[in-house]
Amino acid sequence: MDIADTQCILSAERQRYKCKVCNATFTHKYEFVTGKERYTEGFKIQTYNQCIGATVKHSAEVTKTPYSTAERFFKKIALQISTLTLKAAQEIAKQSTKLILGIDDFAIRKGHNYNTGFHDLRGENLIGIAKGRTLDELRAYMEENPQLAELNPYAIVMDLARGYHSFAADFFP
């Protein structure tokens, strides 16, 4: 962290304790940093926030951390946020009385890699992403994510792919 354009390093020494009864030793744990870490959780969040509207490279330069470190912080926090957001969207979809479920594939790399998105079209939320677009890949995704099988859609919007129709008949009769 910089204070008045001067790099500031926080050095927090471990407090070691010893039990007088059993002679067991232990150390005090600080809430702001986990064991064997070089950066506090607050600094990781600051680095993540620097990336919003900019790039990881910019964040690394501003926080004076290596690019790989800034990228690791960004990916970790982005995964946590996206997981929470996805769970919240799934809960909203589950409580919807007339859920319109959209199922469609999209290309990660045209002609090579495809994923399938599940959308709450009325609520305008993404509620799941399956790797691949084949019927077997969609079935495997539903086994890994049983909360989506609990949805009770009023209607399903999809293209004419036969796999989607079989999938919808199997999971949302």
Say how many C-beta atoms besides its own lie within 10 A of residue 48's C-beta: 20
What pLDDT, in 10s, does the model give residues 128-146?
A: 888 988 889 999 999 998 8
Tokens for 102? 């959209």
Tokens for 110? 């045209």
What pLDDT, in 10s, does the model give residues 95-124?
A: 888 889 999 988 877 777 889 999 999 888
The band of 1, judged by pLDDT with boundaries at 50, 70 and 90, is low
* Percent of the chain that is helix, strand, coil (3-state, to 5): 40, 25, 35
Q: Helix, strand or coil for residue 82?
A: helix
pLDDT at 4 over 70: no
The mean pLDDT of 38-57, rounded to a whole number, is 86
Would you state the pLDDT for residue 102? 92
What pLDDT, in 10s, does the model give residues 117-129?
A: 999 998 889 998 8
